[in-house]
């Protein structure tokens, strides 16, 4: 019987999950991190997974809540930690285990997809921009506030008229549009700067892999080959699960 993999990306704001039979995604979903309990009736109706693999960066309470949900099935969940080497990717973080497990899974997915140097961008609550070499080495990366967080920081620390919902404008003529456009420009600028740095290292311009809630907002602002992969972390978790299944020791 083919294994069934339940992959779970438990992030700061939301939780994404997918059920894969080794070939295709059979079911996928996303819920707010504070609404995990709503998963119980949906998961109860899933075919029982043979492997459960999780990237959790939302803290110990989120892990405890998930462990309770996983008790629906007689399978021990695998809680992913970053490693020095896995699935063809070598981790050059000063302390490899300190790298966020979601970033690690995303890097693995990007390497499986590209097999060459690339930038891996998660445009979520925080935005991470991570660099992979042409030989699968994670060279390092940056962390900045995400687009929404940048706006909230400004609104919380500076007196503005009630800004409302902003749109991207080349020449913003309202506070809401100015805040949103500024945050988007700042995020795009950080990515473009990392493109320049990695291009100098590789000797060619890297592909940029985008994921996260603001990926589609960010993509049109980048002057480079940027592709959006919706569930990059889940793809990386699937690769990790497959490798563990093939090499259990």
Q: Which residues contact 16 (CB under 8 A, 6 or more apart)?
A: 8, 9, 28, 29, 30, 231, 233, 234
Is the model's pLDDT at 76 over the cut of 90? yes
CB 232 within 8 A of CB 209: yes
- What is the mean predicted confidence (pLDDT) over 234-239? 98
**73-78 contacts at long range (C-beta below 8 A, 24 or more positions apart):** 73/48, 73/49, 74/48, 75/48, 75/49, 75/50, 75/51, 76/52, 77/52, 77/53, 78/51, 78/52, 78/53, 78/54, 78/241, 78/244
- Tokens encoding 190: 């950080």
* Full set of structural domains in the chain with CATH: 5-79 (3.30.420.40), 116-231 (3.30.420.40)
> pLDDT by residue (tens digit) across 163-211?
568 889 989 988 889 999 999 999 999 999 999 999 999 999 999 999 9
pLDDT value of residue 176? 87
- What is the mean predicted confidence (pLDDT) over 92-115? 97
Please list the residues that pair with 98 across neighbouring strands.
none
Lowest mean per-residue pLDDT among 1-5, 7-11, 107-111, 179-183:
1-5
Q: State the virtual CA torsion across 3, 15, 240, 141 in degrees, nearest 10.
A: 170
Q: Is 24 a catalytic residue?
A: no
- What is the mean predicted confidence (pLDDT) over 95-123? 97
pLDDT value of residue 1? 65
**Side-chain-facing half-sphere of 8: CA atoms under 13 Å:** 28
pLDDT value of residue 202? 98
pLDDT value of residue 160? 66
pLDDT value of residue 175? 86
* CA–centroid distance for 19 within its chain: 17
Using DSSP's 3-state secondary structure scheme, residue 247 falls into coil
Q: Catalytic residue among 9, 24, 65, 102, which? A: 102
> pLDDT by residue (tens digit) across 85-94?
999 999 999 9
> pLDDT by residue (tens digit) across 22-73?
889 999 999 999 998 899 999 999 999 999 999 999 999 999 999 999 999 9
Q: Which helix (H) or strand (E) holds 33?
A: none
pLDDT value of residue 163? 57
158 secondary structure, DSSP code: S
CB 141 within 8 A of CB 106: no
> pLDDT by residue (tens digit) across 122-165?
999 999 999 999 999 999 999 999 999 999 888 877 766 555 68
pLDDT value of residue 57? 95
Rg of the chain (C-alpha set): 19
pLDDT value of residue 193? 97
CA-to-CA separations, 229 to 121, 158, 193, in angstroms, rounded: 10, 35, 21
Is the model's pLDDT at 120 over the cut of 80? yes
């Amino acid at each position: 019987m083919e294994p069934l993999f339940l992959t779970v990306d438990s992030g700061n704001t939301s939780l994404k999950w997918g059920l894969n039979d080794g070939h295709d995604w059979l079911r996928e979903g996303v819920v707010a991190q504070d609404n995990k309990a709503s998963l119980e009736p949906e998961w109860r109706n899933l075919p029982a997974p043979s492997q459960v693999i999780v990237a959790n960066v939302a803290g110990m309470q989120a892990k405890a809540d998930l462990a309770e949900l996983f008790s629906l099935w007689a399978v021990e969940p695998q809680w992913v930690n970053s490693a020095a080497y896995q699935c063809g990717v070598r981790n050059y973080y000063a302390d490899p285990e300190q790298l966020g497990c979601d970033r690690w899974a995303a890097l693995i997915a990007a390497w499986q997809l590209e097999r060459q140097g690339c930038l891996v961008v998660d445009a979520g609550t925080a935005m991470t921009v991570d660099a992979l070499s042409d030989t699968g080495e994670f060279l390092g990366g940056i962390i900045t506030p995400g687009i929404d967080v940048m706006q909230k920081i400004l609104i919380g620390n500076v007196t503005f008229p009630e800004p409302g919902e902003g749109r991207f404008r080349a020449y913003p003529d309202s506070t809401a549009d100015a805040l949103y456009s500024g945050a988007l420009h700042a995020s795009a600028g950080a990515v473009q700067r990392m493109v320049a740095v990695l291009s100098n290292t590789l000797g060619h311009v890297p592909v940029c892999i985008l994921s996260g809630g603001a990926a589609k907002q960010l993509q049109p602002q980048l002057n480079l080959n940027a592709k959006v992969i919706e569930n990059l972390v889940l793809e990386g978790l699937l690769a990790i699960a497959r490798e563990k299944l093939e090499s259990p020791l």
